Every structure is written in C-alpha cells, then in structure tokens.
Amino acid sequence: MDETVRHLRAVQPFAVWSGGFKPEELDAIIAFGEKLEHEKAAIYGESREASYENIRVTRTAWIGNRPETH
C-alpha cells in the first residue's frame, strides 16, 4: 500500500468546509483554548515521552461540550 494512502486512511474520517466560522468566532475559540491546561502532543504511534521538538512542537487541550463552549 502506498504511504500516502496509508496516511490518509489513518486520519479519516474528517470534514472540511469553507466559512464554517466567522473571524470573531475563531478568535473566541483560540482565546478559550489558550486558557486551558495543555499537554504535550505525540507523533502518531509514539509515546508522549518521545522527544521530537526539532520536528514538531505541539501542545493540545480538549475543549469539551459545556455551556461556555456553545
């Protein structure tokens, strides 16, 4: 199997739409997310303890379904 096909299968399903949020809505989402506790992200198939800071620096936070996120 081609590596591109293998990668695309690993990230499916997903959706993309243009104009899904207004700029001010995106600003609010970013501001809310920046206030949350972040975790170090891992590269697919690797542990969170693995260090790839020279390749990718990513921190993640879960924005749950709660009144302030509606």
The overall pTM is greater than 0.75? no
Instruction: Summarize pLDDT for 16-46 with one digit per residue, the tens.
Output: 788 899 999 999 999 999 999 988 777 766 6
Is 1's pLDDT higher than 60?
no
Which residues have C-beta within 8 Å of that of residue 28, sequence separation ≥ 6?
Answer: none
Q: Return the domain boundaries, the chain.
A: 20-69
What pLDDT, on the 0 to 100 scale, is given for residue 3?
Answer: 60
Mean per-residue pLDDT of the chain: 77
More confident residue, 63 or 43: 63
Residues 43-54 have a mean pLDDT of 66
Look at residue 1 and give its three-state secondary structure: coil
